[in-house]
Structure 1
Amino acid sequence: MDNFTNDNTARRYKAHVSILGTTQLHLRSPYIIAWWSAAFPGFGHLLLSKYLRGFVLFIWEVIVNIQANVNLAMVYSFQGNIGMAKEILDTRWLLIYIPVYIFGIWDSYRTTTDMNRVYILAELEEHRINTFSMGALEINYLDKRSPWMSVIWSCFVPGLGQLYIHRIVTAFFVIFWTVIFFYFSYGLEAISLLFLGEIQEATSKIDPEWLLFFPSLYGFSIYDSYANTVENNKLYEKEQRLFLKKNYQSSSFRILKGKKVN
């Protein structure tokens, strides 16, 4: 395939291949994106490749959640100790946590509907996209990869699935916070003690406030890597089809619909 850069000769582009990853527009469910924003503020925006907004909301969630003791209150609620959950919540932080949390859900839903409209217009325009990018530090190109391999690597360590499909920005961010969460939750130390049969000591080592970040982080990493692998494969097939049609299909070729050949 020949190289091509997005040089603003089209009004809208469906995708852009850079050394940091493949960014593309495709139809998404606003409800699923909003759900991920509810699961963890920032995740919905990261799914949309709105990185700066996603990073701000994610870091906000971690800082304010810890300061307001939201996760710790959830732990006490799961144990049925509602009185203790109410007592430890810090309302000075909680009252600024709630509006930003709601904003993240609303904004991700709104942005998804807007981007779906832009995708439809870009699909109608059907302008060429670049398929290969080479820089001093990285090489990226459109190709087909296994969605299930993305899931497997994400199950080992969140972020590895993103590295597999060359989503460098998301991969770096997720891996960085995976290390932070493992460190402050004492998760790996607890796992080591479990292997040694020290169940009570492993339980006492765990910091549940930091451990509760992991379900959302693992779930997002698995979903994001799988969904983007599927969409990257679709983009590769479509670009390849358009390339072959333009360069090898005869201009006189026609498909006659509704006629049977005897």
Structure 2
Amino acid sequence: MQNYENTNRARRYRAYVSPLGTTQIHLRNPYIIAWWSAAFPGFGHLLLSKYLRGFLLFIWEIVINVNSKLNVSMVYTFGGQFDMAKEVLEPRWLLLYIPVYIYGIWDSYRTSVDLNKVFILSERENSDFINFQITSLEINYLDKRKPWVAAMWSFFMPGTGQLYIHRIVVAAFIVTWAVVIVYYSHFLQAVHYLVLGDIGYANDIVNKEWLMFLPSVYFFSMYDAYVNTVENNKLFDNEQSNFLKKKYQDRNFRLPLNPEKRDR
């Protein structure tokens, strides 16, 4: 009977494959992670697979931003209406926004640097990890997929690219909030009237406060789906390479013979 090593005893391992997704650590550029946190708090942490922290900061951004009227103020600022931009701001909420916003950028940068160090150590240790999970609800396994396909599906609907690479939790979160943002921004209604040629009504009906959340969600979903597909493909190659080296590269390995031919 084959003896399977308990991979949970490894000091560090690169990935964890569960029914809800594949979580792995890999080298990241800390400045890119910090930039995504600056673009939208929580996104940098989601890229690092720090899901609870990322979800918390994302929801915090929505709540504080809407109540402080920050996006509305930015719209007036872009239009050169600086007096209106100052007038609509809610200082009680805005002063809560600043410290947590800066913390999100700093913490995502710091965590990215730390995880890069952990990845280097785990790569040297090169411990085995379980690459296949099957339960009564889901099946997840390592395989190779096309990054451009993941980005394309996220372009059509944020979160579907994450579903393509089996990141169920992140996909559910992004899809839910994409629907909420599209609904409250009246984005699809505006597109409908824009196609009909009624540009003025399309401009009037759109809620610019919620609409400004949409580009960040769209581009993050595409970037996250693309990058994680690339890294999952690398992880698949690494796991397959380790398996072949351990099972088929031993000098004393003897090729199993067909019992019928061996008897002749």
Match of 1:76 in 2: 76
Instruction: Say yes or no: does 1:206 pair with 2:206.
Output: yes
TM-score when normalising by structure 2 = 0.93
How many residues of Structure 1 are paired with residues of Structure 2 in the alignment? 252
Rounded to whole Å, the distance in 1 between the matches of 2:198 and 2:136 is 49
Rounded to whole Å, the distance in 1 between the matches of 2:14 and 2:190 is 45
Rounded to whole Å, the distance in 2 between the matches of 1:103 and 1:81 is 30
Match of 2:142 in 1: 142
RMSD after superposition: 1.6
Instruction: Say yes or no: does 1:37 pair with 2:16.
Output: no
Rounded to whole Å, the distance in 2 between the matches of 1:222 and 1:70 is 25
Give the partner amino acid of 2:138.
Answer: E
How far apart are residue 157 of structure 1 and its match? 0.6
Rounded to whole Å, the distance in 2 between the matches of 1:3 and 1:111 is 36
How far apart are residue 3 of structure 1 and its match? 11
How far apart are residue 4 of structure 1 and its match? 6.7
Match of 1:248 in 2: 248
Q: What are the residue-to-residue correspondences of 1:17-36 with 2, within 5 Å?
A: 17-36=17-36
Rounded to whole Å, the distance in 2 between the matches of 1:21 and 1:179 is 22
Instruction: Say yes or no: does 1:92 pair with 2:92.
Output: yes
TM-score when normalising by structure 1 = 0.93
1:73–1:238 distance in 2 versus 1, CA, 3 Å: same
Q: Contact (CA 8 Å) 1:20, 1:166: kept in 2 or not?
A: yes
Of structures 1 and 2, the larger Rg is shown by 2
Stretches of structure 2 that go unaligned for 5 or more consecutive residues are 254-264
Instruction: Say yes or no: does 1:238 pair with 2:248.
Output: no
Rounded to whole Å, the distance in 2 between the matches of 1:149 and 1:233 is 13
Give the partner amino acid of 1:197.
Answer: G
Amino-acid identity (%)? 61
Q: Secondary structure at the match of 1:140?
A: strand
Q: Contact (CA 8 Å) 2:144, 2:232: kept in 1 or not?
A: yes
Stretches of structure 1 that go unaligned for 5 or more consecutive residues are 254-262
Q: What are the residue-to-residue correspondences of 1:1-262 with 2, within 5 Å?
A: 7-251=7-251
Q: Contact (CA 8 Å) 2:26, 2:116: kept in 1 or not?
A: yes
Q: Contact (CA 8 Å) 2:148, 2:226: kept in 1 or not?
A: yes
Q: Secondary structure at the match of 2:16?
A: strand
How far apart are residue 251 of structure 1 and its match? 3.1
Deviation by residue 1:37-61 (Cα, 9 ceiling, x = unmatched): 0000000000011010001100000
How far apart are residue 7 of structure 1 and its match? 4.3
